Amino acid sequence: MPTIHQSEWAKALIHLFALASRLEGEGQYNLAKLARAAADSMCRQAAFEIAMPGARDELAADVKLTSQTLAHLHVSDELIAALTQGAEVMAAGQLPLISLLPHPHVCRTCGHVTLGEPAQKCPICAAWPDTFQRFMPNYWFDALEPFAAMQCLRQTPVEAEALLQGLSEAQLNQPPEDGGWAIRNVLIHLRDAQGVFAARLDLFRQEEHPVLAAKAVWTWAAATEERPPTALEIFSAYQTSRAQTLAKLEQLPLAHWWRTGRHEEFGEVTLRQQVSYFAAHELTHLPQIMALRPSNA
């Protein structure tokens, strides 16, 4: 990215937000969406250039340090306190749960923050509580509607299988030079996530408003004691479990997709959101397998 003076950059960014709000007020929603996309793109481009810490404890320390900086920038005390508490839980090797970190809601008009569902009008600008923007832990919950999610759950194993074609067991087990995951670890992760998904679907089918335990699925893939199943056997277990899950979903009346459960990490979720979550999550791992394939394969 060419060097741009930071204050010029920040001014343009803030102006885009102001412009978008004003355009929305004028009913010019198609123009407003462009201004919001430009602002989002500017921030993501700049963030893409920054090297972030790789180790968990360094990352937790970064969150703490960043929250201290925010105190001078008029960010909500409640939000800063939550960031600091969440960083402590992370530093202790755990996932902060919804009880500690409710979803933040930001007033679209004035930027006032409420942790958890706002019950009253905005105390600064009197905006209606339902107009606040809710920040979810990721976009996967609402990424896919039921039929698109089913299609995705059917298609991803097919695409993954094509990416594994012609690779030897040794190649599947070869970690990259930076010491990260081998393709085998990605396959373990896909199978583990599918296992959690299958168990949750059963809970939704068997119970009214089930409790969904928080699972640090990401960390399981690095476990080294899992021998001897080959990478292809791991992939085959994933395919079998997926086929069973799809058969159950096909039998499910559409209205049941809106049944709710209580997720310990993410709060109130519908089955529809869980299916969308697991389907959209997998898509982020296909480029990872592609990048790990040896260039001559």
> Long-range contacts for 56-61 (Cβ within 8 Å, ≥24 apart)?
56/90, 56/91, 56/93, 57/91, 59/90, 60/87, 60/88, 60/90, 60/91, 61/87, 61/91
**Paired tokens of 108:** 């679209």
The smaller minimum CB distance to Zn ion, of residues 6 and 120, is found at 120
Of residues 74 through 113, those in contact with Zn ion by CB under 5 A are 107, 109-110, 112
Tell me the C-alpha distance between 290 and 293, whole Å: 5
Task: For the CB of residue 37, give the shortest distance to Zn ion in the complex, in Å.
Answer: 23
Instruction: Give the interface segment with Zn ion, choosing from 61-69, 81-89, 116-124, 206-214 (CB under 5 A).
Output: 116-124
Task: For the CB of residue 121, give the shortest distance to Zn ion in the complex, in Å.
Answer: 8
The smaller minimum CB distance to Zn ion, of residues 109 and 270, is found at 109
Residue 221's CB: how many other CB atoms inside 10 A? 19
Task: For the CB of residue 10, give the shortest distance to Zn ion in the complex, in Å.
Answer: 22
Task: For the CB of residue 81, give the shortest distance to Zn ion in the complex, in Å.
Answer: 20
The smaller minimum CB distance to Zn ion, of residues 81 and 110, is found at 110
The smaller minimum CB distance to Zn ion, of residues 76 and 241, is found at 76
Cα torsion angle, 252, 254, 256, 260, sign: positive
Map residue 293 onto helix, strand or coil: coil
Site string for Zn ion, 18-57 (x = CB under 5 A): ----------------------------------------
Task: For the CB of residue 167, give the shortest distance to Zn ion in the complex, in Å.
Answer: 54
Are the CB atoms for 245 and 279 separated by under 8 Å?
A: no
Site string for Zn ion, 118-137 (x = CB under 5 A): ----x-xx-x----------
Tell me the C-alpha distance between 187 and 192, whole Å: 8
Tell me the C-alpha distance between 258 and 1, whole Å: 44
Any idea which residue has 């089918």 for tokens? 205
The smaller minimum CB distance to Zn ion, of residues 115 and 286, is found at 115
Tell me the C-alpha distance between 250 and 240, whole Å: 16
Task: For the CB of residue 129, give the shortest distance to Zn ion in the complex, in Å.
Answer: 10
Task: For the CB of residue 112, give the shortest distance to Zn ion in the complex, in Å.
Answer: 4
Count of residues engaged in binding Zn ion, rule: CB under 5 A: 8
Residues, the chain: 297
What are the residues binding Zn ion (CB under 5 A)? 107, 109-110, 112, 122, 124-125, 127
